[in-house]
Amino acid sequence: MANIVLRNVDKIYAGGVKAVNGLNLEIRDGEFMVLVGPSGCGKSTALRMIAGLEDISGGEIAIGDRVVNHLPPKDRDIAMVFQNYALYPHMTVEENLAFGLKLRKMPKADISKRVQEAAKMLGLEQYLKRKPAALSGGQRQRVAMGRAIVREPQAFLMDEPLSNLDAKLRVSMRASLNTLHERLGVTTVYVTHDQVEAMTLGDRVCVLRDGILQQVDTPQNLFEAP
C-alpha cells in the first residue's frame, strides 16, 4: 500500500483545454478518496494521470516514495477498474481472474490461491467456469474488480465503475465496495459524478470544478453542513 501525492498538477490538452489546473491533493495510505464533480470537471483526466495513461503537463505525482511522472502504467503497481469491465469474452471467469498473474509468470498454485480468495470475497465462486456473456452486469463488474484484487497492487483506481449498472445493482455494489475496502484497505481513488456514491463510499471526497479543486473533506463535513 502507498499514499498518492499530487503536487501542483496541470493537464493542458492539445488545443489548449486546461483540464486540470494546479491540483494539490494527498490520498493517504489506505484511504478511499472519491473525485467528484460535473461532467468535464477533469476527474477522469486526474485519474488517468495517476494511472500513467495520460502525460502530465506540469507538477508532480508520487505513489509511495516514487515520483511516477515518467513511469509507464505497468510499472506503477496500480490496478484500474473501468465502467465497461473490459473482460475477455472468450475466457471463463476463472481465466479472466488469472490472466494478469499468468502474464507475470506467477506459479500456478499461487495464482489458484489468489483467484479462489478473490472469488470468495466477491461472491463469484459458483461462476468461475462461466464466460462473461453468461453473467449479469453486476457479476461482470465483480469479475472486473476481482482482476484488480488478485494483483494485490499498491492502489486501486476506478473510473465510474458502477455507471453501467441499474440503480438497484449500484446500491448493492456500493455495499460490496465498502466491504471490500474495509477488508483489503487498499488506497483507492474513485471517480464519479454521483454525489450519493461519493458520500457512501468516500473516506474523503475531493470536489473538482473546471479542473480546479474546490473542497476536500469527509462526506459528513461536505454534505451534512448545518
Task: Select 106 or 169, whichever has its Cβ closest to ligand ADP.
Answer: 169
Among 139, 187, 188, 192, binds ligand ADP (CB under 6 A): 139
Task: Select 106 or 171, whichever has its Cβ closest to ligand ADP.
Answer: 171
Q: Which residues lie closer than 8 Å to 127 by C-beta, 6 or more apart?
A: 93, 119, 135, 139, 143
Stretch that binds ligand ADP, among 56-64, 79-87, 94-102, 135-143 (CB under 6 A): 135-143
What backbone torsions phi and psi does residue 48 show, to the nearest 5 degrees? -65, -30
The one-letter amino acid code at 44 reads S
CB of 43 to ligand ADP, least distance (A): 4
Task: Select 86 or 123, whichever has its Cβ closest to ligand ADP.
Answer: 123
CB of 225 to ligand ADP, least distance (A): 23
Applying CB under 6 A, does 88 fall inside the site for ligand ADP?
no
Distance CA 60, CA 67 (A): 7
Q: Give the three cell numbers for residue 210.
A: 473546471
CB of 39 to ligand ADP, least distance (A): 4
Which residues ranging from 165 to 224 are in contact with ligand ADP (CB under 6 A)? 169, 172, 176, 179
Which residues ranging from 2 to 61 are in contact with ligand ADP (CB under 6 A)? 13, 15, 17, 19, 37, 39-45
CB of 121 to ligand ADP, least distance (A): 7
Q: Which residues bind ligand ADP (CB under 6 A)?
A: 13, 15, 17, 19, 37, 39-45, 123, 136, 138-139, 169, 172, 176, 179
